[in-house]
Amino acid sequence: MTREYLKKATLTSKSDASDVHETVQAILDDIRAGGDDKVREYAAKFDKYEGNIVLTAREIEAAAALVPDKLKADIQFAHDNVRRFAEAQKATLSNVELEIVPGFMAGQKAIPVDAAGCYIPGGRYSHIASAIMTVTTAKVAGCNHIMATSPPRPGVGVAPAIVYAAHICGADTIMALGGVQGVAAMTFGMFGLPKANILVGPGNQFVAEAKRILFGHVGIDMIAGPTDSLVLADGSADPHIVATDLVSQAEHGYNSPVWLVTDDRALAQDVMARIPALIDDLPEVNRENAAAAWRDYAEVIVCADREDMAACSDAYAPEHLTVQAEDLDWWKDRLSCYGSLFLGEETTVSYGDKASGTNHVLPTSGAASYTGGLSVHKYMKIVTWQQSTRDGSKQVAQATARISRLEGMEGHARAADVRLAKYFPGENFDLSANG
């Protein structure tokens, strides 16, 4: 049986990719040359905001006062979960020391970057969870300075809940800046701040392009496209829950793909029949996004069996992967390409997006085939070191000299030669390429 597409996407994440490179490059060049004043100009132009850029302690306190106590408790709950998971991740990194040969030691150290820049979207939705995900992991990693920036709203500034979340999660500086100007301010060290060593966090196509251009000048977590989600479901799945999960992810944006992969044609048809009513029941802005995403980007695929389903999923390498099927251990062992995995109907992508502890900054557009999502590890530099006694270097020096000469790198060979001559005078070594 070949795979059957009950619904095929008419567009892909690259279909409406406009050429934003020149626009973003011009803004970055402008800001690099014009400094803080140019950042303020772009804030006024794009954010419609002329207030304070770097929030003061009093402004942070005032924003926190506007956040309801119940929401504060929820933010703290999510922060605690993300922090504890990040701490467990960090514990998997350890310094290593190994005696390569007697007397010759080598090792690795995990060192956090000095300054992290966290971009927190705040346009269509107030991405409170993005503040939690990005700032908390940087704090646990041990970064010395954590900057957070989020688009302000005209006459309001940054959403108070975002300010509160960034603050309690450990941001040292919070800025009211969106888009390219926010990314540039963190990268170039505007307003007296340190230059970011790494930029993290999701954003629109302009933010993504800015990170792409600046990569190399600064580290980045990843270049993110539209969010995407795939559900693997067999005949045991609840079609209403499957349909609800698909719609919940389609509301992210008009170009956010959702995919259903199943080996049960009846289930697929049942899910498809439920989708329109679930979309219609959403609030207007959510409804518009979900309707467009389902119409243009969604796919429903019927496979021969669960092995074919798994192979199909791995080929898509989705950002979010949900399994609502029997024998969850089999799926966990078999699947290999995803940003984050959600096993069983008792969990859902929404949990991971907001509060369960795993990070929601994840690879999109198939990037999960070669990379994972944001974690403590993204902020860490794994560096190596070596130290040796003179006797310990003897064998290494000889091998180095001969390999270097075989490669034609005489300077490298002589760096080994001089040590052998100094440490072991009178000894004869055959250091030729064919020795």
Q: Which residues are known to be catalytic?
A: 319-320
Task: Calculate the alpha carbon distances from 249 to 50, 350, 406 in Å.
Answer: 34, 8, 57
Task: Calculate the alpha carbon distances from 422 to 184, 187, 392, 399, 409 in Å.
Answer: 52, 47, 14, 17, 21
For residues 337 and 370, the answer to whether their CB atoms sit within 8 Å is: no
DSSP, collapsed to helix, strand or coil, labels residue 132 as helix
Round the CA-based radius of gyration of the chain to a whole number and report it: 26
Q: What b-and-e string marks burial along 26-44, b requiring 16 or more CB atoms within 10 Å of the CB?
A: ebbebbeeeeeebbbebbe
Q: Say which residue the tokens 């995407």 belong to.
A: 228
Distance of CA 150 to the CA centre of its chain: 17
Query: CA-CA distance, 321 to 231, in Å (whole number)?
Result: 6
Sign of the Cα pseudo-torsion (16, 22, 26, 29, in order): positive
Q: What's 43's DSSP letter?
A: I
Q: Which residues contact 103 (CB under 8 A, 6 or more apart)?
A: 388, 389, 390, 391, 392, 393
Selection from 181, 190, 82 nearest residue 130 by Cα: 82
Beta bridge partners of 117: 147, 199
Selection from 137, 139, 134, 111 nearest residue 122 by Cα: 134
Query: CA-CA distance, 357 to 86, in Å (whole number)?
Result: 8
In the numeric block, which tokens belong to residue 233? Answer: 């479901």
Beta bridge partners of 299: 259
Query: CA-CA distance, 7 to 15, in Å (whole number)?
Result: 18
